[in-house]
């Protein structure tokens, strides 16, 4: 087989589908943790995808894993390497360095993976960060809240999908929140050996939340987008929906883009895609976190729809060291939105209705519910607990948002309390 393979670290079905649009059959190698492959039963899924050449089991989250992989496969000669999951970013960056391929850089990705380290590095470059300290006990959280009156955020320094993040309105909530966040389990998404948990407590910044997606080549921004975010109300900041592009004034849009570019410069980011989250308080963006990978939650699909681009293909072109065939647009000619579904209550699903009616609404491009009668709906604690979504397109952001809201209002999922 003459086609040089591309390596995807972390099995993501939608990413495999995207690669199949422009990669030849048998040209994608997927690397994932042995335990994750087993628990998610990934081998049959890989075998069913003609574009996948091989699924390699490798404990990639361990120190030195990329160098060990390179030594075990020195003649693999990949054309590009990229992470498709948060935990894969340092491994993919180091492996790309070993094979001499474009990358965001191992040093940069190590900083982005560690929220505590990212705060230290970005603050030294003048990026606004909330007051934040690493903590190892509830008493240290209490000390922080005593020194910083007002609500606080307790969250892991090294997790994904809003797992373990809690907003604390008062010190009375600390012990219960600590017990919950430090006992979280990502189940099939992580290896059985577990991942070291480190916790942060921070001042709760008050304002609207946004993310910025940048496609970068050797530090030069080739594409930028600002996404507007809505969160579910309550103590857990799980994302309710996204709007692309964000419906905000040009000045704020430019500020968020420039601050994200400054942030990537501060960590020495090279080539790749970045997804950075911000909260704007009193007109000033405060850094939430930043990832050196594709955004989740359907944001890439929204970007493609709103800007009329193929962001995935552009990304892999850069990671192969090839020039883009044409410049990517600076502005979106349309708008796209996604809205996520949750019942508000935990329990067992009794019935699901209205999905076909929601799909038939003008402007609705995709609509799905992932549970059926008899399935369990869990309390909303992270992105994994949502049970459906609607994707819309429109000429304006307001229209796209309103249609997504209407689509989910058309759907009715009835649940009853689970026994016991």
Q: What is the mean pLDDT of residues 123-152?
A: 96
| For residue 163, pLDDT beyond 80 | no
Q: Which fold has domain 6-101?
A: Rossmann fold (3.40.50)
CATH 3.30.470.20 domain range(s) in the chain:
210-331
SS (H, E, C) the chain: CCCCCEEEECCCHHHHHHHCCCCCCCCEEEEECHHHHHHCCHHHHHHHCCCEEEEEECCCCCCCHHHHHHHHCCCCCCCEEEECCHHHHHHHHHHHHHHCCCCCCHHHHHHHHCHHHHHHHHHHCCCCCCCEEEECCHHHHHHHHHHCCCCEEEEECCCCCCCCCEEECCHHHHHHHHHHHHCCCCHHHCCCCCCCCCEEEEECCCCEEEEEEEEEECCEEEEEEEEEEEECCCCCCCEEEEEECCCCCHHHHHHHHHHHHHHHHHHCCCCEEEEEEEEEECCEEEEEEEECCCCCCCHHHHHHHHHCCCHHHHHHHHHCCCCCCCCCCCCCCCEEEEEEECCCCCEEEEEEECHHHHHCCCCEEEEEECCCCCCEECCCCCHHHCCEEEEEEECCHHHHHHHHHHHHHHCEEEEECCCC
Q: What is the mean pLDDT of residues 106-120?
A: 96
CATH 3.40.50.20 domain range(s) in the chain:
6-101
pLDDT of residue 193: 67
Q: Which CATH class is domain 210-331?
A: alpha beta
Q: CA torsion, points 29, 35, 40, 44, in degrees to nearest 10?
A: 50
Nearest to 181 by CA among 197, 196, 195, 192: 197
CATH 3.90.1170.50 domain range(s) in the chain:
334-420
Bigger pLDDT: 234 vs 110: 110
**In this structure, CATH architecture of domain 131-203:** 2-Layer Sandwich (3.30)
For residues 223 and 318, the answer to whether their CB atoms sit within 8 Å is no
The CB-based long-range contact list for 34-42 (8 Å cut-off, 24+ gap) reads 34/58, 34/59, 34/191, 35/190, 35/191, 35/192, 35/193, 36/11, 36/188, 36/189, 36/190, 36/191, 37/11, 39/187, 39/188, 40/11, 40/188, 40/189, 42/11
For the beta carbon of residue 330, count every other beta carbon within 10 angstroms. 9
Of all residues in the chain, the percent with pLDDT exceeding 70 is 95
CATH 3.30.360.10 fits 334-420, yes or no: no
pLDDT band at 382 (very low <50, low <70, confident <90, very high): confident
pLDDT of residue 192: 62
For residues 96 and 271, the answer to whether their CB atoms sit within 8 Å is no
- Write out the two tokens for 85: 């999951």
For the beta carbon of residue 51, count every other beta carbon within 10 angstroms. 21
pLDDT of residue 1: 44
pLDDT in tens, 173-230: 999 988 887 776 666 667 666 667 888 999 999 999 999 999 999 999 999 999 999 9
Burial of 263 from C-beta contacts in 10 A (0-12 / 13-18 / 19+): buried
The Cα 59–Cα 290 span in angstroms is 24
Of all residues in the chain, the percent with pLDDT exceeding 90 is 83
pTM over 0.85: yes
- Write out the two tokens for 193: 């050996």
pLDDT in tens, 278-326: 999 999 999 999 999 999 899 999 999 999 999 999 999 999 999 999 9
For residues 231 and 238, the answer to whether their CB atoms sit within 8 Å is yes
């Amino acid at each position: 087989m003459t086609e040089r393979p591309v390596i995807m670290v972390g099995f993501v079905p939608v990413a495999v589908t995207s690669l199949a649009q422009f990669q030849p059959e048998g040209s994608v190698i997927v690397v994932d943790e042995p335990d994750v492959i087993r628990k998610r039963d990934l081998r049959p899924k890989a075998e069913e995808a003609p574009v996948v050449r091989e699924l390699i089991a490798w404990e990639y989250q361990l120190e030195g894993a990329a160098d060990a992989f390179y030594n075990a496969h020195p003649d693999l000669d990949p054309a590009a390497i990229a992470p498709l999951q948060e935990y894969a970013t340092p491994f993919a960056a180091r492996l790309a360095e070993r094979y001499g391929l474009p990358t965001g850089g191992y040093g940069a990705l190590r900083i982005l993976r560690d929220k505590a380290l990212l705060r230290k590095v970005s603050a030294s470059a003048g990026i606004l960060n909330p007051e934040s300290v690493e903590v190892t006990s509830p008493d240290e959280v209490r000390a922080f809240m005593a020194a910083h009156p007002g609500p606080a955020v307790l969250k892991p320094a090294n997790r994904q999908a809003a797992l373990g993040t809690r907003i604390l309105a008062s010190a009375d909530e600390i012990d219960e929140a600590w017990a919950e966040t430090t006992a979280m389990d990502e189940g099939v998404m992580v290896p059985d050996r577990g991942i070291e948990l480190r916790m942060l407590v921070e001042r709760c910044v008050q304002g609207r939340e946004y993310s910025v997606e940048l496609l970068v080549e050797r530090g030069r921004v080739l594409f930028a987008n600002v996404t507007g975010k809505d969160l579910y109300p309550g103590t857990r900041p799980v994302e309710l929906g996204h709007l692309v592009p964000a419906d905000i004034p040009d000045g704020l849009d430019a500020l968020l883009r420039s601050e994200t570019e400054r942030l990537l410069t501060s960590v020495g980011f090279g080539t790749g895609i970045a997804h950075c989250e911000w909260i704007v308080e009193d007109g000033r963006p405060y850094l939430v976190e930043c990832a050196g990978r594709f955004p989740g939650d359907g944001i890439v699909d929204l970007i493609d729809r709103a800007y009329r681009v193929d962001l995935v293909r552009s990304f892999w072109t850069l990671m192969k060291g090839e020039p883009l065939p044409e410049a990517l647009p600076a502005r979106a000619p349309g708008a796209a939105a996604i809205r996520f579904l949750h019942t508000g209550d935990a329990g067992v699903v009794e019935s699901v209705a209205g999905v076909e009616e929601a799909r038939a609404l003008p402007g609705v491009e995709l609509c799905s519910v992932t549970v059926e009668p008899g399935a369990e709906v869990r309390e909303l604690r992270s992105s994994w607990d949502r049970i459906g979504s609607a994707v819309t397109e429109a000429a304006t952001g307001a229209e796209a948002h309103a249609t997504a809201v209407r689509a989910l209002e058309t759907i009715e999922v009835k649940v009853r309390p689970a026994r016991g």
